[in-house]
Structure 1
Amino acid sequence: MSGGNAIRGSRIGAGPMGEAERGDSAPRTRVSFYCANGHETRPAFAMDAEIPEQWECIRCGLPASTDQQNPPPPPKNLPYKTHLAYVKERRSDEEAVAILAEALDGLRSRRARGEVIY
């Protein structure tokens, strides 16, 4: 028994159903972007929108451009660096030896004065 419920199958607050009630959509253009793996992505842009130079490939996530013969290269992933690697970039071996000698001299002088050092 259907009972004549007019809103059956629709959620409360749903808007108009169909293109005629919503109005015309803005004119659009599709632009092809190509990644280094040869994938083509064709997003739609409004006719008056500025087209970006690069777009992310929806299949592999690499950057893509409109030039099919010369797509952008994959980004370089730098390996994880430890704190020691960053310190070694800032200091030469001679500077490290001098800093270590200064710190050891300070500890030895404190120990000679009778300070408790943990």
Structure 2
Amino acid sequence: MAAGNAIRGSRVGAGPLGEDERGESAPRQTVNYYCARGHITSPSFALGDETDAPEIPLEWDCPKCGFPAGLDAENPPEPIRNEPYKTHLAYVKERRSDEEGQALLDEALTELRARRESVSVAD
């Protein structure tokens, strides 16, 4: 006896359904957004009546390059400038000048030499 699913090859929502079975789709408007690289993105937004009208965003992320896209084709928004990853040394250099760093290094080397001398004298 073969075990199996009685509705094999089908999925929920499959089938030739038309608007008469699903209902009419909401009226939509297509808005063009332009990015700095020249890509055009055209998402659709539902239309509402005067009291229920959704806001159209001023910017939209371009799906091709990730830059922000705006409504004005002649003046697209500037790309976001990402700061590169800073190393630990870069953060230290922001906090200390080269002279302060040299003073700390000299102090640490003096302590290290003093410890080594005390260990070699004890031997």
Given the two structures, how large is their TM-score scaled by the length of structure 2? 0.69
Aligned to 1:58: 63
Q: How does 1:13-28 map to 2 (within 5 A)?
A: 13-14=12-13, 17-28=17-28
d(CA) in 2 for partners of 1:31 and 1:13?
A: 32
Aligned to 1:67: 72
Aligned to 2:43: 43
Aligned to 1:103: 108
Given the superposition, is the C-alpha separation of residues 87 and 69 from structure 1 closer, same or farther in structure 2, using an over 3 Å criterion? same
d(CA) in 2 for partners of 1:64 and 1:45?
A: 16
| Unmatched 5+ stretches in structure 1 | 1-6
Given the superposition, is the C-alpha separation of residues 85 and 43 from structure 1 closer, same or farther in structure 2, using an over 3 Å criterion? same
Which stretch of structure 1 is more off in the superposition, 25-34 or 74-83?
A: 74-83
Aligned to 2:32: 32
Name the Cα RMSD after superposition.
2.6
Aligned to 1:3: none
Matched, 1:11 2:16: no
d(CA) in 2 for partners of 1:37 and 1:22?
A: 39
Structure 1 residue 38: Cα displacement: 2.5
Provide the aligned length of Structure 1 versus Structure 2: 108
Q: Which amino acid aligns with 1:42?
A: S
| Unmatched 5+ stretches in structure 2 | 1-6, 48-52
Aligned sequence identity (%): 57
For residues 43-72 of structure 1, give each alpha carbon's deviation from its aligned partner in whole angstroms, at most 9, with x where no partner exists.
011223222221122333321101122111
Structure 1 residue 107: Cα displacement: 1.2
Aligned to 2:50: none
d(CA) in 2 for partners of 1:40 and 1:14?
A: 32
